[in-house]
Amino acid sequence: MPIVSRGFKGRRRDDAPPERVPPGQYVTDDFPVLSAGPTPRTPLDEWDFTIVGEVDELHRWTWEEFRALSSETITVDISCVTKWTKLDTDWEGVSVDTLLDGVETAAEYAVAFCDGGYTTNLPLADLTGGRAWIAFGYGGEPLEPEHGGPARLLVPHLYFWKSAKWVRGLRLAATDEPGFWESNGYHIYGDPWQEQRYWGD
């Protein structure tokens, strides 16, 4: 039984259908920025995206090559472990399925690695089947550095720390290696619908 806090009334929104708001979250119209360190700024002529690790060969795209791939626009809800949820966010990106097409691997896990040293780990199954993108546009504009530009991983079905900002590639592996936040107290998988925020959840 949760402890009732005497006198607490709360503020209930009527525009947030409960089936779209994971447990413990509140809906925000804002787009908060959270990160552990300074914002990296990589010039596009130095940017590349690579798929490495347990693969047949290294796969690499320059920015031009990346932007020449077929991309799509999507509208998704996103949930941050710090409790805010933002509904109907518009993104443009390349499906990770497109990038993995033609990559031969027996790996079951991936680590996304990023400028600035950030990493996050996911099962490969959560990056495929139309559930993940490398996003370069937000709200109809190029993705700003503060929000992860030039490109970030976008995995809306997990807590947003898995949607790694400033992503530069995926390292495929046979085992699940905890990334940055996963090594600092946060859940290894991060399903918002099961409130998998921290170790032990």
Interface residues with another protein (CB under 8 A)? 2-12, 24, 26, 28, 30-40, 82-83, 116-117, 146, 180-181, 183-185, 197-198
Of 53 and 145, the one with the shorter C-beta distance to another protein is 145
**Shortest reach from residue 127's CB to another protein, in Å:** 24
Burial 129-138 (b: 16+ CB within 10 A, else e): eebbbbbbbb
Find the shortest distance in angstroms from Cβ 176 to another protein: 18
Question: Would you say 65 or 146 has its CB closer to another protein?
Answer: 146
Residues present in the chain in total: 201
Rounded least distance, CB 181 to another protein, Å:
8
Nearer residue to another protein within complex by CB, 14 or 104: 14
Residue number, 95 or 196, with CB nearest to another protein: 196
Q: Which residue has the tokens 């005497």?
A: 6
Least gap, CB of 21 to another protein (angstroms): 12
What is each CA distance from 70 to 34, 94, 145, in whole angstroms? Answer: 30, 6, 23
> What's the min distance (Å) between Cβ of 41 and another protein?
9
**What is the C-alpha separation between 83 and 78, in angstroms, rounded?**
11
Q: In what order do the strands lie in the sheet with 109-114?
A: 59-62, 48-53, 167-173, 109-114, 119-123
Of the two residues 9 and 70, which places its CB atom closer to another protein in the complex? 9
The residue whose two tokens read 């900002």 is 165
Place of tokens 């619908």: 193
